[in-house]
């Protein structure tokens, strides 16, 4: 529980002197639903030694978003971990700002800060820049896409040296 509380405090904290993260102009929610392979993250205690991470979204009838986050610990044969956070769209004009409840009762801001026009990749960040997820519709993201994402993240004041790839070994 201490780890969960620490993570939630880090997610919800805001750096006072940092510029505000810029979100994408619009997210087509039905198109955004489905499986996303986690390509890279800013490391956190939950995802330490994660392999084959997948975040799956589905829209509930009440407008909330059911999330299944799964990964294997240490290797593709490692113990499978599954989490069931709950999401809700906070900014319904752009659909690019969500609230995510990983641990009850805390809701944290999750911002869609990058999204390919064809929805082949996305990037989720939090206001404090302490957490980040680069995700793709397939287990592999091209080097060109990954490099372009990193360039845009640098413009959003992310420390690129801290971003770590998640092995996708299928």
- Is residue 121 domain-resident? yes
Ramachandran class of 143: left when φ > 0, alpha when ψ lies in -120 to 50, beta otherwise: alpha
- Is residue 132 domain-resident? yes
pTM: 0.89
For 40-59, write each residue's pLDDT tens digit.
999 988 898 999 999 999 99
Could you list the residue range(s) of the whole structural domain that residue 161 is in? 2-165
List beta partners, residue 115: 122
Query: CATH number, domain at 108?
Result: 2.40.128.20
Report, in angstroms and rounded to the nearest whole number, the Rg of the chain calculated over CA atoms: 15
d(CA 159, CA 42): 9
- Is residue 170 domain-resident? no
Q: How many domains does the chain have?
A: 1
For 8-40, write each residue's pLDDT tens digit.
444 444 444 458 999 999 999 999 999 999 999
């Amino acid at each position: 529980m201490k780890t969960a509380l620490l993570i939630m405090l880090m997610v919800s904290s805001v750096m006072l002197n940092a510029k505000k993260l810029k979100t994408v102009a619009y997210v087509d929610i039905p198109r955004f639903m489905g499986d996303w392979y986690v390509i890279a993250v800013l490391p956190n205690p939950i995802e330490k030694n994660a392999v084959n991470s997948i975040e799956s979204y589905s829209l509930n009838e009440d407008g909330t978003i059911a999330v299944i986050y799964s990964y294997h610990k240490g290797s593709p044969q490692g113990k499978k971990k599954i989490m069931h956070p709950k999401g809700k769209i906070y900014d319904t004009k752009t659909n690019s700002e969500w609230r995510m409840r990983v641990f009850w009762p805390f809701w944290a801001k999750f911002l869609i800060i990058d999204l390919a026009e064809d929805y082949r990749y996305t990037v989720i960040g939090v206001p404090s820049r302490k957490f980040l997820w680069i995700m793709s519709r397939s287990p592999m993201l091209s080097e060109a896409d990954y490099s372009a994402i990193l360039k845009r993240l640098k413009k959003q004041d992310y420390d690129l040296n801290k971003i770590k790839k998640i092995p996708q070994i299928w």
